[in-house]
């Protein structure tokens, strides 16, 4: 039974790696559909948590999320299988391109150039889709939308210090920790008040 799960895990991420163009963010919507909607290995909130973790770690986002999902499902072996499935198609395709498709050939061959040009709009859609789904899963509404919009504009600005994405990863983690401590304090105070009220 466990071997079947490993095989399904490998095939799922092999398909994701083989049919996704545009890098890590372009993969997110397909990974979410396969893992959450089709396989039901995780729910939406769990997937969002793993995505946040994968973004916070150094390295390739697609591999990070594959490792995180594999680890959650089947431990270390699961993470290795998922990562291998994700990497194998890209490695094979890049190897073939390096052997046969030189930059000059791509520029001079109208068919190949047209194919890459046609892929670009689809890549944009694949990147936008996970942003929308992540916003829904994070319960970002019109009131809280100003935060990610402001951060995106600051990163895009190119200004020193404030355009560094690492700054917002640290601030986001710190803000989440402070919010959690505040929430725990409120719960404790509510319990104390309830106990006092019952004692009286």
Model pTM score: 0.56
Collect all residues with Cβ–Cβ distance below 8 Å to 178 and sequence separation of at least 6: none
Distance CA 2, CA 8 (A): 10
Residue 84: what pLDDT?
92
- What lies within 8 Å, CB to CB, of 57 at 6+ separation is 64
Mean pLDDT within 84-108: 79
User: Cα-flanking dihedrals φ and ψ of residue 145, to 5°?
Assistant: -65, -25
Q: How far is residue 1's CA from residue 76's CA, in Å, rounded to a whole number? A: 17
Cα 132 to chain centroid, rounded: 12
Q: What confidence score (pLDDT) does residue 139 get?
A: 66
Confidence of residue 52 (pLDDT cuts 50, 70, 90): confident
Q: If you average pLDDT over every residue of the chain, what do you get?
A: 79
**129 pLDDT above the threshold of 50:** yes
- Domains of the chain by residue range: 2-139, 142-200
Most confident of 68-82, 116-130, 155-169: 68-82
Q: What does the pLDDT read at residue 44?
A: 80
Assess whether pLDDT exceeds 80 at residue 197: no
| Separation in Å, CA 127 to CA 15, 36, 54, 62, 124 | 18, 18, 16, 12, 5
């Amino acid at each position: 039974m466990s071997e079947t799960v490993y095989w399904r895990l490998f095939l799922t991420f092999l398909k994701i790696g083989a049919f996704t163009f545009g890098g890590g963010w372009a993969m997110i919507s397909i990974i979410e559909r396969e893992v959450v909607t089709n396989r039901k290995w995780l729910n939406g909130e769990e997937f969002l948590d793993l995505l946040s973790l994968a973004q916070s770690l150094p390295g390739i986002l697609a591999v990070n999320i594959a490792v995180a999902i594999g680890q959650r499902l089947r431990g270390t072996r699961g993470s290795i299988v998922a990562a291998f499935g994700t990497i194998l198609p890209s490695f094979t395709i890049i190897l073939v391109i390096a052997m046969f498709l030189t930059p000059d050939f791509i520029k001079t061959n109208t068919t190949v150039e047209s194919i890459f040009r046609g892929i670009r709009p689809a890549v944009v859609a694949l990147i936008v889709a996970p942003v929308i789904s992540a916003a829904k899963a994070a319960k970002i509404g019109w009131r809280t939308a100003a935060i990610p919009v402001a951060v995106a504009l600051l990163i895009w600005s190119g200004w020193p210090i404030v355009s560094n994405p690492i700054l917002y990863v640290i601030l986001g983690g710190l803000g989440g920790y402070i919010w959690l401590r505040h929430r725990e304090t409120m719960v404790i105070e509510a319990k104390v008040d309830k106990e006092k009220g019952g004692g009286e």
